[in-house]
Structure 1
Amino acid sequence: MKKILDFLFVSLLFTYPLIVLLPREFNIVGGIWGGASLVFVVLAIFLHRRLITNKYVFIASIISMFILLSILLSEEINFLKFQYGLKVVLPLFLASYFYVYPLNETKLLRIYYFVYFYILFLFLFFIYRYSLINFNPLLITAFRDMVWYEKSHIIAQTFIIFAIIFLFLSYRLKKNVTLAYMFFIPVLLTGVRSVMLGGILFLMVFLLHFWKKHFLWLVISVLVMGISLIIIQPDITKLLPLILSERDANLGTQNMNITTMSSGRDIIISYYIDHLDYERLFVGSGMQYLESDASFTFGLHNDILEFFFSFGIFGLGAFLIGFYYWILYDAYKKTSGINRVFIKAIGLLIISISSFAFFFSNQVIIYMFILIYIITYYQVPKGNLTHAN
């Protein structure tokens, strides 16, 4: 039975990156994958009692408890709320299987080549999508929803996570490290600002680690480039398509303000603050924007704010303590050398993306949880694998 579960686990992990690339018309495929993952988690926990005691299952269980409490106490209970709550905790439950799936050199090498070919496939996919639409590639941020059929965020998040996985495995296996850094360049082709910023911050951590003496010159070079761009084009509204969506850039040419620069996020936050029920401060609204009769249906594009307004102080506390302390900070304490650099860089990346977009509710986050686990327990590059649970 263990071999069957291992096979199902690997199959789920290998198929989801392909499902991500499907247009929204095929969302049913993602739903089937989610259902299969849920069944797998239930079977794995039932057959492997060790999973009940591992960190990921414990954190997911605590967060699930507060999510369930918030939903049950909300003014309206519907399927969408339970579905969203499941999407938040399922990646942690699924990633927990790594506690009974110890790696070896052969498995790491297989993962390495899968990620390698998947990134190459993604790059070809990028070229194909670009060829279908006639636009200036420098304006990808303005046309990203058209190029990526309104799935730009999850596609960009998938690419950056797999680029980081490939970089770590390149260090661990001592293969193609330079190429691994080059794989970060296509991140700019996604046009997703949160991911692009996160990628830059991730690489800056490595620059600080390896080239501390040259970091000042790097900062000066970036400032010179920015000043030169402003001198060449002093009308900043004409530069907006480089960083804004087409709709927001057009608005900006008429009236550039915080609303156009943030894609309306300030209005969304103001709405949530105005409708905050202080009597439900500790348990939240049970995902207010998923009420079936709500007149306002936009999310906050910020995981911390989303947890606070949806699941209250208790839910937010469980999320912050569970992920940032028990997972990320614990990984930082247990690692050293290049492994610790990865943890610091990943921390900045996650903060960057989750501050401006949904991240933890996207199932692709499972690969980040798995990567953090691998970085924590598999040292680079001193001799054989050092593994401990």
Structure 2
Amino acid sequence: MIELEKLEKIKHRFEEIEQMMADPAIATDAQRMSELGQEHGELRDVVAAIERYENLLQERADLREMVEDESGEMAALAQDELDTIEEKLPAVEADLKTKLIPKDPEDKKDAIVEIRAGTGGDEAALFAGDLYRMYTKFAEKHNWSYEVMDASYGSHGGFKEIIFGVSGPEVFGTLKYESGVHRVQRVPETESSGRIHTSAATVAVLPEAEEVDIDISPNDINIDYYRSSGPGGQSVNTTDSAVRITHMPTKLVVTCQDEKSQHKNKAKAMRVLRSRLYERKLEEQRKERDEARQSMIGSGDRSGKIRTYNFPQDRVTDHRLEGDLKNYALQDIIEGNIDPIIESLKAEENAERLARL
């Protein structure tokens, strides 16, 4: 049984917001109206679910009374309706519980995705490139935009490291499940004997911080400018447009050389630095967070894996799932169709959080 007092508080808050939004003094405050509108939208579905649940409880109570007080045909009809209500109630209650799960405010943010080649040398770099392609295709399917922040290329293709930003609705809340060690099993392009190799790459997904989330003092950063280089180390341009920013208090270092403009590279590097600092702040505030950044990145070896991409068997296995939800067709996944995995992981997380309500 859901605590009815809690439901009343939610309904009261919803009514309170509607009253505030109708206040002429507040209506002229665009920032405040935006905040209230967002909360109103989030609560609208919850309140509708509460009303469905409470109406069913009231109907059940009335029908139980009729069954006790009436006799004959009236009592039988009341019992039939009561049985129908009893059948409906568990599903309505489950729906309401799902809607009552607190939403993580970070889920609505854009994301910074960092992919790094781990164990496996050139093949790991090629796999990192495959993962980047998978995520960009996934972003395109969701009409999200993305842009490269920084990249270090592998000697035979792919990336030693690539950092890119993804923007759109609920980006971080969707991509956060991709954080961890990804393992690939296949015959590398660089392998002449046809032996299957196992390589790994790490993925870290960070909520992109805004300036209001993290204030970086100019006195806390050291900025170096240098000449950009591309695949194989060749010079990209003849000006010192590449940027390296060191955050002195934490010793975090961010580089960016993707743009020809020094100003644009600095702006991108600051976005990455701000997001890394924001993730640190979140870790400190919420030690119980499921995936702290260090555990997301891991060591880049074959242990601690979250997913295996097995090319010979045309299968992707997500090791956090069980049973029929665990395995997927490799070509579908590698082409960016990772929604089924993410939805299964979301459902598992919701089930765990429901158990704690």
Q: Check whether TM > 0.5.
A: no
Question: So what's the TM-score if we normalise by structure 1?
Answer: 0.25
Question: So what's the TM-score if we normalise by structure 2?
Answer: 0.26
Tell me which of the two structures has the higher relative contact order, counting C-alpha pairs closer than 8 angstroms and 6 or more residues apart.
1
Please tell me whether Structure 1 or Structure 2 has the larger radius of gyration of its CA atoms.
2
Larger strand proportion of the pair: 2
